[in-house]
Amino acid sequence: MGGPTEAEIRAVLREAVKAPGESSPTSGTRVEAWLAERASEEDLLDVAYAPLDTPLGVATVAVTDRGLVRVMLPNEDRESGLERIAREVSPRILEAPARVDRARRELDEYFAGRRRAFDLDVDLRLLHGEFYRRVLEALGGVGFGQTLTYGEIAARAGNPRAHRAAGTAVGSNPVPIVVPCHRVIRSGGELGNYGGGPEMKRFLLEFEGAI
């Protein structure tokens, strides 16, 4: 997919001719905000991302015009995640906190105990395979404080025998927490794997009162 990279966007915007009377930003924070604003105005921005503080560390949230495209949990490598977004969604990606405000606000409310369900559109372009998509759609029906087994979520996705494929789909979830893959556990009651690590899965389930 063509288009400028983040570095190229920044270079273009730094060299852009400013409107008469416009002052040039100097501090780091103001420069970043100015670059993000310019990228949006010049239609150079397809994916915006920003950090998110969580009880277990700093996550990264990314959005497109379709919705939330990625939640990178604290233990995930941000650069690798951003490179994948640039490769599979669009290279026109830039840190632009204002564009991510709504998603970050809802996640902040969740971790503060003031939100049990999310009201966000989700962009699943990073997820490949029809069955995987059905699994994630089924996950949307697993409420706060509830858990299902991999077999049960496979059945909700239309194939009760495909519990292993369901496990792969759950592990491929690009937007954890918002699409609550942490609520899927093994049939024997063990927590099972989680992209954010076992400590975060246990934290989330205990936080929701599920275990």
Q: Which residues are catalytic?
A: 181
Q: Are 123 and 64 a contacting pair, CB within 8 Å? A: yes
Closest C-alpha to 177, from 126, 98, 118: 118
Give, for 11, the enclosing helix (H) or strand (E).
helix 6-15
The distance from CA 95 to its chain's CA centroid, rounded to whole angstroms, is 14
CA distance 127 to 175: 10
What does the block give as tokens for 139? 């996950």
Residue 207, burial from CB neighbour count under 10 angstroms (0-12, 13-18, 19+): middle
